[in-house]
Amino acid sequence: MSVALAVVRMLVVLLACAPAPAFAQIYPAKQIRVIDAYPAGGSTDWIARIIGPKFAENTGQHWIVDNRPGAQGIIGVQLASKAPPDGYTLLMFTASHAIHASFYKNLPYDMLKDFAPVSLTSLTVNLLLVNPGVPANSVKELIALAKARPGQLSFGSAGLGSQNHLAMELFKYMTATNMAHIPYKATQSAVIDVLTGRIDLMVGPLPAFMPHIKSGRARALAVSSPKRALALPDLPTVAESGVPGYETTNSTGVLAPAGTSPDIISKLNAEIVKVLNQPEMKERLISNGAEPVGSSPEEFGEYLRRETAKWANLIKDIGLVPEQW
């Protein structure tokens, strides 16, 4: 045997015995942190937390939700954008993140460039909700009341630039009404003030409102989705209640930092879609007004681009001046 051949064989043996590098280990090899840029109890938090147990059951690794609220979600998104692209830090997407690209100047990240889409997880029905003390039992009655009392009715939101803020701005624009915006730091805080009568109404995700509708502490006038909610089939849409063309839904999804390996994205997507397709998961989501999706990364990327453009056009059309970040 030649010396050269002996050396080659020795190298082959050494390489075969060497430990596998970290990136070649089976993914996931440790727990995954899922950043939600809003407080616990909101729609993204709820979706993330019901995915977690099934994800852990299927993969053997924990899916830990890390709530990082602040600055209308910008703090949490910025944190996720700077995480290592190793698949162990993810971001729960919500519609507000697509709005912020046009609503704020000089954001410290770019949603379309700094993140890799994994999967759109759900489309959540929004409700137009009023305090029971508001003398309006339908959308048409609410519009008439708002026109009779210009600027006197107040609506809450999760803050300037949030999805429920823009949903109400769209409603005002399309109905030629004037109502006062009261921004909060989180959807749940606004919900509490609707229930207690401190503010009159708001638009927001059905899962956050369902318990209060059932208890009678709040009155839902309509859903803002293009079709009626399976969870509340007797409740009309805003569009069929006198505002044709009105439509807003609150989407959720999973993003990874840009640069994450396509193999990891594919693995994450497969596991998330598997969870969303389980019958008990579908039933739980639908009963709370959330339609399970489970898209491909490519489909989610296209959706994200469409949403970003849609809200940019709306902000321009209604004359909102972008805020300085």
User: Which of 19-23, 69-73, 242-246, 314-318 is the least confident region?
Assistant: 19-23
- The whole-number average pLDDT for the span 70-77 is 91
Averaged pLDDT score across all residues of the chain: 89
CATH C-level class of 125-241: alpha beta
- The whole-number average pLDDT for the span 166-195 is 93
pLDDT of 129-170, one tens digit each?
Answer: 999 999 999 999 999 999 999 999 999 998 888 888 999 999
Asked if the model's pLDDT at residue 287 lies above 90, the reply is no
Asked if the model's pLDDT at residue 288 lies above 80, the reply is no
pLDDT of 206-224, one tens digit each?
Answer: 877 888 888 889 999 999 9
For the beta carbon of residue 112, count every other beta carbon within 10 angstroms: 14
User: Which whole-number Å values give the CA distances from 300 to 62, 157, 273, 308, in the listed order?
Assistant: 24, 26, 12, 12
Say how far apart CA 245 and CA 264 lie, in whole Å: 40
pLDDT at 133: 95
Higher per-residue confidence, 289 vs 234: 234
**Domain boundary assignment for the chain:** 28-124+249-324, 125-241
Domain 28-124+249-324 and domain 125-241, same fold? Reply is: yes
Say how far apart CA 89 and CA 92 lie, in whole Å: 10
CATH number listed for the domain at residues 28-124+249-324: 3.40.190.150
pLDDT of 263-275, one tens digit each?
Answer: 999 999 999 999 9
